[in-house]
Amino acid sequence: MSNVEGKFLMDSVPFSCCNPGSPRPCLQHHLTNNSAHYDYDHRIEELNIWTRGCRESLVAYYGGIMNSIGALIIFAILLEVRTS
């Protein structure tokens, strides 16, 4: 654990950050310590954890749904105006 600008940073992630589609077992602790894991270099290998955070994923997911709903509403309004 390190202290950067008064904030404590850990070199670990929770299990929920693991990508289940990764062929390699999930590395949760000592992510930047190459000697802690067999045949591993954090600078060149893709980590087996999700790179997007929960907030970003939720905003992208619900943003797509809202765009679809918005387009349907505009289409319905245009049809209603055109038939009147």
Q: Where are the domains of the chain?
A: 1-51, 52-84
pLDDT in tens, 3-19: 556 665 666 777 777 77
pLDDT tens digits for 17-70?
777 777 777 777 776 676 766 676 656 656 677 777 777 877 888 999 999 999
Distance of alpha carbon 27 from alpha carbon 13, whole angstroms = 8
Calculate mean pLDDT across residues 59-83. 91
